[in-house]
Amino acid sequence: MHKPSGHLLAGFSALGAGALHASAIGLHAETPQLARVFVVLALLQLGVGVALVLRPRATFLVASLVVNSAAVGGWLLTRLVGISWIDGLEVREGPQIADTVCAGLGALSAALALGLLVVGSTPLASPRSLHAALPLIGVGFAVVIGMWNGATHVHDHGGDHAAGADHHAGSETASDGHDHSSSGVALAGGENADAAAHDHSTDWPRPYDPAVGIDISGVDGVSAEQEARARELILATQRELPRWADYDEAVAQGWISIGDESTGHEHLVNRRLIVDGKFLDPTAPESLVYEVKGSTKTLVSAMFMANLGVGVDDPTLTDYAGPLMQWHVHDNLCFRNNAEGRSVVAGVLDAQGNCPPGSILGGIGIAMVHVWISAHPCGPFAALEGEGAGRAAVSEDERVDMCAHDHGTETASLSIAASAKDTGAARIDLSGMPGVAADERRRAEDLLYNTRTVLPKFADPATAEAAGFSTIGDGATGYEHYINWKYINDEYELDPRYPESLVYQIDAATRQKKLVSAMFMMGDEYTLDNVPNVGGPLTQWHIHNNLCFSRDPAIFGSTRVVGVTSENGPCQFGVKLRENPMIHVWIVPHKCGPFAALEGVGAGQVRAGEEQHCDHAHAGT
């Protein structure tokens, strides 16, 4: 018995829409609520599709009409106003090929179902006839087109992604194509020590201190109206923003952290305010920025975002304060879910346009600008450094939200060493080594800054043990390594919040343990041939292929060094472990620089053809 042709086409259309929704689940994994919506839609559409193909009954026609009409209605809402109660759909989006094809198939299935319920069906003369096959082939072709284009779908989530839009992310990628900026390598706030000295005859930007006053007058090219608007914005922000000085109160009112506190600055974003239509309103700031020092979080800045669809060079932005203010965007940031299911910045696109493994592109095209309520050497509208400064409509040398700094001045955690030598400051100048590119130097400086800022929370070995670290029993060498074996293959890489190993120096007289270094270890998929390029010649990775351990920590949770053998040699007692690449980052000055390996056996083995580095240019005293 031939099935009615209308039922078949309605069924296959529902199947196609369900397949497209299913293919989108993984692409939206960074917003679990939205991914679950796609799971439900996919199951319902696939279910009614199968039912219509196998059993052409009126009940299934009604089901298809309801399910697909709901799906198409939801799609229309997201293209017109957004859906505020679904994470990831709060922001209105323009139609793209994949979602438009999906909605079209759903609409076709619903329309056919309605027509068949009202008019009835006609039998199909022959299931193999060209007349019957062409519509079904067309549905299949549409599904293929939708899936192909869905692989490059850019979802403009606003929300957490927009918050991430102002987080320093490394501009270069690892040698293996991975970007490891989920760590402190590429997520850091502070001044731009790497920025070129700007030659502004207008003497702008200028250091800014609310306690002293607002010095924005006399800047070339700035009209009286622009200066007045800028001054009022600064004053209004100073006046209104402190209502969120209490971090917990801000969270209670709807601001959500993107988890970048290890950078020294943490951004919180309120998704609903991104689409409220307000512009530079200090009573409704889209993002709040807190400076993080240990457990203390101090509100220091608002990060205002322009309305959706307004370009970074739009006159409504550039004319607001003229040459006083610089807007920027972030359109290369990748995100992934943390352990709590919250979307956090994971890195930036590599040269091939790929995100780090396990993350996806968050299509951020929102123009944004900072307004500081705390002192800043680069002015009241200063951007963060590196990738944190984003992409502007002018060159870096022309930007007015970055500045050159007096490296002899130390200010809190943003201090920069007065010379190339390591003074122990949180941020030091790593210039002067041949063969180091500007982006490599910046990443190395950021990794060092983040580690020196965050790692001291493990200063007490008891705190480390409570967090899951255990000693490998090598204290007799003068340095004792504590390792958290669960961290080696977790989602965090080069992240001082989750360091794979802590290194304590043992005082020979008192036997007291002093935290001196992190030893970051890469996961099992890495070798010395595909480790990330952090700082070029500044940073050198090594392995240990000559150590023997008492047991396998993957099974027992801890282990101890029980012997040393030759390189790649067998252990007479104990077992060898996987040769995970590792690198030290010192939080105290070291005679061979801040990324020096230990001496002797502790130095491990480097890549074939290389020699152990000793960075005398940035040595400590």
Q: Are the C-beta atoms of 385 and 193 separated by less than 8 Å?
A: yes
Average pLDDT over residues 70-75: 91
d(CA 174, CA 187): 15
Q: What is the mean pLDDT of residues 511-536?
A: 94
Residue 370 parent element (H or E): strand 368-372
Percent of the chain scoring above 90 in pLDDT: 37
For the beta carbon of residue 599, count every other beta carbon within 10 angstroms.
Answer: 14
| DSSP symbols for 116-148 | HHHT-----S-TTSHHHHHHHHHHHHHHHHHHH
pLDDT band at 522 (very low <50, low <70, confident <90, very high): very high
Distances from the Cα of 213 to the Cα of 216, 240, 415, angstroms: 10, 17, 23
Tens-digit pLDDT profile for residues 32-55: 677 788 899 999 999 998 988 888
Confidence class for position 91, pLDDT limits 50, 70, 90: low
pLDDT at residue 465, rounded to an integer: 95
> Confidence class of residue 194 from pLDDT cuts 50, 70 and 90?
very low
pTM: 0.42
Query: How confident is the prediction for the chain on average, in pLDDT?
Result: 79
Please tell me the predicted confidence (pLDDT) of residue 184. Answer: 34
Cis check: omega of the bond before 285, within 30 degrees of 0: no
Q: How far apart are CA 118 and CA 112, in angstroms?
A: 10
- Give the closest residue to 543 by CA, choosing from 493, 595, 583, 490: 583
Segment (H or E) for 97: helix 97-118
Mean pLDDT check: name the lowest of 137-141, 152-156, 260-264, 312-316. Answer: 152-156
Q: Which amino acid is at 66?
A: V
Confidence of residue 620 (pLDDT cuts 50, 70, 90): confident
The pLDDT tens digits for 537-560 are 999 999 998 899 999 999 999 999
Residue 558: the pLDDT is: 93
pLDDT tens-digit profile of 383-439?
A: 876 566 778 888 877 888 887 433 333 333 333 333 457 888 888 888 878 888 988
pLDDT band at 183 (very low <50, low <70, confident <90, very high): very low
- Least confident window among 18-27, 40-49, 89-98, 445-454: 89-98
- Asked if pLDDT for residue 153 goes beyond 50, the answer is no
* Residue 116 near residue 298 (C-beta atoms within 8 A): no
| Bridge partners for 292 per DSSP | 297
User: Which residues, other chains included, contact 206 with Cβ-Cβ below 8 Å and sequence gap of 6+?
Assistant: 215, 216, 379
Contacts of 38 (CB under 8 A, 6+ apart): 21, 22, 24, 25, 28
Q: Which residues contact 473 (CB under 8 A, 6 or more apart)?
A: 480, 560, 561
If one compares 193 and 322, the residue with the highest pLDDT of the two is: 322
**Residue appearing with tokens 């950021």:** 446
Of residues 387 and 377, more confidently modeled: 377
Out of 1-5, 220-224, 475-479, 501-505, which region has the weakest mean confidence (pLDDT)?
1-5
Least confident of 64-68, 306-310, 393-397, 466-470: 393-397
Residue 282 confidence (pLDDT) above 90: yes
Q: What distance in Å separates the CA atoms of residue 567 and residue 570, rounded to the nearest whole number? A: 9
Residue 102 near residue 37, CB atoms below 8 Å: no
